[in-house]
Structure 1
Amino acid sequence: MIRLAALDMAGTTVDEGGAVYRALADAAGAALGHPIAPDVLSRWMGMGKREAVAGLLAGTPIDPEPVFADFGARLAAAYDATPPTALAGVEDAIAALRASGVRVALTTGFGRDVAEGILDRLGWTVGETVDALVTVDDVSAGRPAPYLIFRAMEATGVLTPAEVAVAGDTVNDLRAGRNAGAAIVAGVLSGSQDAVTLGREPHTHLLASVADLPDVVSASSRTAATASPRA
C-alpha cells in the first residue's frame, strides 16, 4: 500500500522552462571561460545545486561559492522574467493522491529559499497543497543519495520504503528512489531527460507526466490488497 508520493519539483511538478539548468550552465561556463557541454551538464541534473556547481568546477582552482551565488542570481532573474507554473495535470494529481490517503512530499535539489519562492509563485502551501517540502538544505547529501526521500518519510510519518512512490525527471531521481528502496520508482518525461536516457536506469515505470501517477499508485494498492500472504 502506497502511503507517500515523493515528487521532484523542476521538470516533474513544476514547469520552469529548464531555467535551472541554463542558469547552472551559464554560471559555470562564465567561471570556466567555456560553454558546458550538454553531456557534462546532464550528469548533474537532479542533484543538489551547490553540489552540481562544485562538480562542474572540479579540478580547477575556482572557488565555487561565488559561482553558486551567480547561479542563484541568474535563476532568480529567469524566474522573474518567466515565473514557474504547475505542469499540466499536476495539481489535480496531487489532490487525487491526497484524497486517496497518500501523503505528498516535494523533494528538491534547490535550497529552501528557492523552493519556498517557487511555492509562493505557484500559490502552493505546505499543509494545504502538499504535506511536506524537503530541500537539499535539510539533508547531508542530495541525490542520488536517498536522504531527501528518507526525510520526506520522516516528515510524513511513513515507516517503510515499501509504502513510498518516487517520481522524477532525471536519472539521479531514479537512482535516489532505488537507493531508498521505494516500491515505485517512476521516471517522468515532462522534464530534462528523455525516455531513452531514463529507460537505461532501473525503474518501475516511465510516465508521460506525474498526472499519470495516481493511476499507478491505485493499481499498486489494489495489487497489494489482493496479493496472497506468503507462508
Structure 2
Amino acid sequence: MALKALILDWAGTAVDFGSRAPMGAFVEAFARVGVTISIAEARGPMGLPKRDHVSALLYSPAIAARWQAANGAAPTEADVDRVLAIFEPLNVEVIEHHADLIPGLLDVVAFARGQGLKIGSTTGYTRPIMERLMPLAAAAGYAPDNVVCAGDLAAGRPSPLMMYRTFADLGVWPPAACVKIDDTEPGIAEGLAAGTWTVGLALSGNAAGLSKAELDRLAADERAALRTAATDRLARAGAHFVIDTIADLRPVLEAIEARLQAGLRP
C-alpha cells in the first residue's frame, strides 16, 4: 500500500463504545464545586484536551452563569485548574469500566499491519488517564505503536502538534500517506490541520453517545436518524469519509489507496 499509517483516537474510536467514561466524571466534578451540568453539555467540547474541555464548559455562558450564582464570582483560570484536578482522578477511577475494545478494531489493526501500516494514536486524555487505560487495552490485544496525550505538547487538538509527534515517533511521511480516524470534530480538525486523510465515526463515539447495547435496542428508523445526524456533523467538520464504526474501515482504506495511486491528495 501507498498508505503508511493509521492514527486512531482512543475513546469512542478504539475503546469505550459511545465515549461514555468522561461524561459522568465531568458531571460529578462540576457537582463537587456546586454547579450542575448535563451530559449533553459535558459532551459539547469532546475531543479537546481535557483542560481545554473544562475551560470550554466553564466559560460557556450558561455554565458560567451557574458558576457565578454558586460561587459569587465569574470563573477564572484557577477555577479551570480546580475542576480539572477533581475531574482527572474521577476519570481514572471509572476508566476500567469503559476500556472494552470496540468490535472490529483488532481485525482492522491486523489487516493494516498485514499491509505494512503502522498504528499510531492521539488522545484528548491526559497521561495519567492513559497510564490506566493502556495496560487494559494491551491485555485485550490492542497496543498501538505510539500514544500521544493531551498535555504532552504545547498544544493539543485542534492543532496538528500531536499528529506531528506521531509522524516522528512512527517515522512516517508525507501526511497524505496517513489516515486519522476519530469520532469528534476536534479530532477531525487535528487530522485536517496535519494534512492527512480523515475518517469520522458516526455511531461508536461522541456524535451518537450511546453504548452498543443502547444502540442495538434502537428501532431501525431511530438508528437511521441518529446515523444521519452524526454523519452530517462529522462531514461538516471536514471528514473525507464517515462510517459507522472502526469495523467498517477496510473499504475506506482501499478507496483512499486508489485515490493515492491516482495522484490525489487530501
Q: 1:168 is matched with which residue: 178, 182, 198?
A: 182
Q: Check 1:124–1:147 CA distance in 2 against 1; reply closer, same or farther (3 A cut).
A: farther
Count of residue pairs the alignment pairs up: 224
Matched residue type, 1:31:
V
* Structure 2 residue 161 is the aligned partner of structure 1 residue 147: yes
Match of 1:118 among 124, 133, 140: 133
What is the CA distance between 1:57 and its match in structure 2?
Answer: 2.2
Aligned to 2:151, the other structure's residue is in SS state: helix
Contact 2:27 2:36 in 1 (8 A): no
TM-score, normalization by structure 1: 0.87
Determine if the alignment matches structure 1 residue 72 to structure 2 residue 94.
no
Q: CA deviation at 1:169?
A: 0.4
Is 1:216 the counterpart of 2:230 in the alignment? no
Provide structure 2 residue ranges, at least 5 long, that are not aligned to the other structure.
60-73, 208-229
Contact in 2 for aligned 1:83/1:121 (Cα 8 Å): no
What does residue range 65-104 of structure 1 map to in structure 2 within 5 Å?
Answer: 65-80=81-96, 82-104=97-119
Match of 1:178 in 2: 192
Give the distance between the partners of 2:232 and 2:138, measured in 1 at CA.
34
2:33 aligned residue = 31
Q: Are the structure 2 counterparts of residues 160 and 25 from structure 1 closer, same or farther at C-alpha, using a change threshold of 3 Å? A: farther
Deviating beyond 6 angstroms after TM superposition, the runs of 4 or more aligned structure 1 residues are none
Distance 2:128 2:92 in 1: 11
| TM-score in terms of structure 2 length | 0.76
Answer 1 or 2: which has greater helix percent: 2
* RMSD over equivalenced CA pairs, Å: 2.4
Residues 176, 195 of structure 1: alpha-carbon distance in 2 compared, 3 angstrom cutoff? same
* Cross-structure match for 1:4: 5
* Distance apart, 1:36 and its partner CA: 4.3
- Higher normalized strand content (fraction of residues): 1
